[in-house]
């Protein structure tokens, strides 16, 4: 019996585990301190009332013989897939229902989608990057190369025609930097993928924070993307489903590689290794797309967006360089006084009991930068920025 030796190439522990240990130790040593957490991107507002009602109704249905549901379709119930299809229509994007696959969240699918690709593919990820993109490919043993995201390019790298790859990860609005690609930037990536016969794995988990119609909220708003891009989205940030777990992946039927349909490959993978998302959860997700649901979740999104503005305004007043905030729940700031990311983390924790995320945890290019999130409580966000302003 042999273990998967690739796991030995992973970092010893996950970034957020290290943060949790430091904060826990600080709390034990300073029980009098009121710690404000602006680090992990978990939501704090409750589920929208329309979603809660849908959950209750679906739970009641499960207790009645005539409406009870057992195993559902692995790719998701038709009612939710049709609702998502209509949502894309509102973005002027035509997607067939059988191109949509319901899952328990984007994070899962971003890793498991790799099942349908060979191990000899070269993967391109931006640096800094959401750790899941890198770690899942290290686990599989694929070669990983990096696209340099930095202050000079606004943390929005563009393709280099001298670099060849097979799988490309793009996240917009980006986690951790909050930067958002415009149509011209995404078109360059689509053209590059088509030219190199590569596949784009497009993480759209934060698309709901894009306020301008001039910025793409789906890669399928870019000409040619349906021939080379798979899109992942989640209800975690859109509707507070971090603890409810539901998302979806779009695999266009006209993406073919070596004569095989990736849509059929993914369907085969899901029907073999996945038993679907619970009926109750899918009914909750369906409620998001009702007029009342859209109205209620927008209230929550606006709440977090206002928090982001509070943080951004503080950075502006202090003359601190940053990206994100306007169309993203993340603010990616340059550490003052040339501090390292972890030094700045300790500086904030020890002096004002505010927790953020060190940029170096997202890659080499993240060193010297820091991520704050807008998913906290309003008053705590205001207080955190007041403490920040007094300290810096």
Q: How far apart are CA 118 and CA 139, in angstroms?
A: 13
Q: How far apart are CA 178 and CA 156, in angstroms?
A: 10
The pLDDT value recorded for residue 15 is 80
How many structural domains are present in the chain?
2
Q: How far apart are CA 205 and CA 352, in angstroms?
A: 31
Residues 202 and 154 in one domain: yes
21 contacts: CB under 8 Å, gap ≥ 6:
none
Predicted TM-score of the model (pTM): 0.96
Token readout for 260 is 């095989």
Residues 330 and 314 in one domain: yes
> What range defines the domain where residue 28 resides?
5-47+293-391
pLDDT in tens, 226-272: 999 999 999 999 999 999 999 999 999 999 999 999 999 999 999 99
The pLDDT value recorded for residue 174 is 98
Residue-level pLDDT, tens digit, the chain, 392 residues = 999 999 999 987 678 888 999 999 999 999 999 999 999 789 999 999 999 999 999 999 999 999 999 999 999 999 999 999 999 999 999 999 999 999 999 999 999 999 999 999 999 999 999 999 999 999 999 999 999 999 999 999 999 999 999 999 999 999 999 999 999 999 999 999 999 999 999 999 999 999 999 999 999 999 999 999 999 999 999 999 999 999 999 999 999 999 999 999 999 999 999 999 999 999 999 999 999 999 999 999 999 999 999 999 999 999 999 999 999 999 999 999 999 999 999 999 999 999 999 999 999 999 999 999 999 999 999 999 999 999 99
Tell me the helix, strand and coil percentages in the chain, rounded to 5: 45, 15, 40
Last residue of a domain, one of 259, 289, 319: 289
Last residue of a domain, one of 289, 306, 330: 289
CA 74, 75, 77, 80 dihedral sign is: positive
Residues 12 and 75 in one domain: no
Residues 344 and 260 in one domain: no
The pLDDT value recorded for residue 13 is 65
pLDDT in tens, 34-93: 999 999 789 999 999 999 999 999 999 999 999 999 999 999 999 999 999 999 999 999
Residues 207 and 338 in one domain: no
Would you say how long the chain is, in residues?
A: 392
316 contacts: CB under 8 Å, gap ≥ 6:
none
pLDDT in tens, 78-87: 999 999 999 9
Q: Which of 177, 98, 229, 141 is nearest to 362 (CA)?
A: 177
Kindly state the helix (H) or strand (E) to which residue 343 belongs, with its residue range: helix 341-352
Backbone angles phi, psi at 253, to 5 degrees: -70, -20
Q: How far apart are CA 250 and CA 99, in angstroms?
A: 5
Token readout for 209 is 């924070």
Last residue of a domain, one of 289, 309, 337: 289
Residues 36 and 103 in one domain: no
CA distances, 61 to each of 56, 69, 80, 241, 283 (Å): 9, 8, 17, 21, 11
Residues 86 and 207 in one domain: yes
């Amino acid at each position: 019996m042999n273990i998967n030796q690739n796991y030995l190439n992973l970092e010893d522990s996950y970034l957020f585990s290290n943060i949790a240990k430091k904060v826990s130790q600080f709390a034990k040593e300073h029980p009098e301190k009121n710690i404000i957490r602006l680090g992990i991107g978990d939501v704090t507002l409750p589920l929208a009332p329309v979603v809660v009602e849908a959950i209750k109704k679906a739970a009641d249905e499960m207790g009645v013989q005539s409406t009870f549901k057992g195993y559902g379709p692995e790719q998701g119930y038709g009612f939710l897939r049709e609702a998502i299809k209509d949502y894309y229509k509102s973005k002027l994007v035509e997607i067939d229902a059988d191109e949509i696959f319901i899952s328990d969240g984007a994070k899962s699918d971003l890793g498991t989608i790799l099942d349908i690709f060979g191990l000899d593919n070269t993967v391109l990820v931006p640096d800094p990057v959401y750790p899941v993109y890198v770690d899942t490919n290290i686990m599989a043993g694929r070669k990983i190369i990096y696209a340099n995201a930095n202050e000079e390019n606004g943390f929005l790298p563009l393709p280099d025609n001298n670099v060849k790859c097979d799988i490309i990860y793009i996240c917009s609005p980006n986690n951790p930097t909050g930067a958002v690609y415009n149509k011209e930037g995404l078109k360059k990536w689509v053209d590059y993928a088509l030219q190199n016969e590569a596949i784009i794995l497009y993480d759209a988990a934060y698309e709901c924070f894009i306020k301008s119609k001039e910025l793409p909220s789906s890669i399928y708003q870019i000409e040619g993307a349906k021939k080379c891009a798979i899109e992942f989205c989640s209800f975690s940030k859109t509707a507070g489903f971090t603890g409810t777990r539901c998302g979806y992946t779009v695999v266009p039927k006209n993406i073919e590689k070596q004569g095989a349909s990736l849509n059929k490959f993914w369907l085969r993978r899901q029907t073999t290794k996945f038993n679907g998302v619970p009926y109750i959860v899918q009914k909750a997700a369906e409620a998001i797309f009702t007029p009342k649901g859209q109205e209620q979740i927008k209230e929550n999104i606006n709440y977090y967006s206002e928090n982001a503005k509070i943080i951004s305004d503080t950075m502006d007043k202090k003359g601190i360089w940053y990206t994100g905030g306007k169309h993203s729940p993340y603010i990616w700031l340059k550490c003052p006084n040339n501090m390292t990311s972890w030094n700045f983390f300790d500086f904030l924790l020890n002096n004002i009991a505010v927790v953020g995320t060190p940029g170096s945890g997202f890659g080499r290019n993240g060193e010297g930068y820091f991520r704050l999130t807008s998913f906290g409580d309003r008053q705590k966000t205001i207080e955190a920025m007041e403490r920040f302003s007094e300290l810096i």
